[in-house]
Amino acid sequence: MKTTKTRRESVTRGFFWGLLISITLLTVYFLATGGPEKGEDKEHGQADAQQQINQYRAALEKNPKDLNTLITLGDLYLNTNKIIEAWKVFTQAQKIAPNDTHVLIDLGGIYRQIGKYDRALESYQRAYEIKPDHLDPLMNMAMIYSQNKKNYPKALELYKTILKSNPRPQLAAKAKQEVVNIESVLKQMKKVK
């Protein structure tokens, strides 16, 4: 009997050690390579995006004033980090629809990425004026004032405006956190003076 139990224990231990080693090796493999198809998926995704870009560019050759096509193409350029191309497309879209909030918000994002903060603020401000119930432009403005322009009082004012406007939960949480951060920075600045 004792031999059977010892043999069974040895087999069980061997099985679990083999399983543990296999899991460890697979984990190392996935951490190192991202898995067997990650590279293929990325290449496939880039090829799909480029194919879509080509299709929308061809559609614009037939109808260069199609706002939906311009916006979709601009978004594709943004998603593939082709900022200059996106800027050109959204600038063209703005000429067609100067009050389209999607266009204004995306232009604001482009201007922010390239460091043109005043232009970004102008785009976001116009978008907010056109559609005041859409709080994302206000949030973007607040982030520029706090992170890029270091105008903490203005940023604080905008975050508080957002919180008074019954924002969606994620936006409210972000605005509350930023209010706490800015108030802390302002307290530190007062101590230094």
pLDDT given for residue 78 in this prediction: 94
Rounded percentage of the chain residues whose pLDDT exceeds 90: 70
The contacts found for 88-92 with CB under 8 angstroms, 24 or more apart, are 92/64
Contact between 167 and 135 under an 8 Å Cβ cutoff? The reply is: yes
pLDDT given for residue 49 in this prediction: 84
**Radius of gyration for the alpha carbons in the chain, expressed in angstroms and rounded:** 27
Please compute the mean of the pLDDT values over residues 130-147 and round it to a whole number: 96
Mean of per-residue pLDDT scores for the chain: 87
Q: Which CATH architecture has domain 124-193?
A: Alpha Horseshoe (1.25)
DSSP assignment of the chain: -HHHHHHHHHHHHHHHHHHHHHHHHHHHHHHHHS-SSHHHHHHHHHHHHHHHHHHHHHHHHH-TT-HHHHHHHHHHHHHTT-HHHHHHHHHHHHHH-TT-HHHHHHHHHHHHHTT-HHHHHHHHHHHHHH-TT--HHHHHHHHIIIIIS--HHHHHHHHHHHHHT---HHHHHHHHHHHHHHHHHHHHHHHH-
Parse the chain into domains and list their residue ranges.
Answer: 124-193
Residue 165 has pLDDT above 70, yes or no: yes
Please compute the mean of the pLDDT values over residues 167-192 and round it to a whole number: 92
| pLDDT band, residue 141 (cuts 50/70/90) | very high
Least confident of 14-28, 105-119, 130-144: 14-28
pLDDT given for residue 3 in this prediction: 52
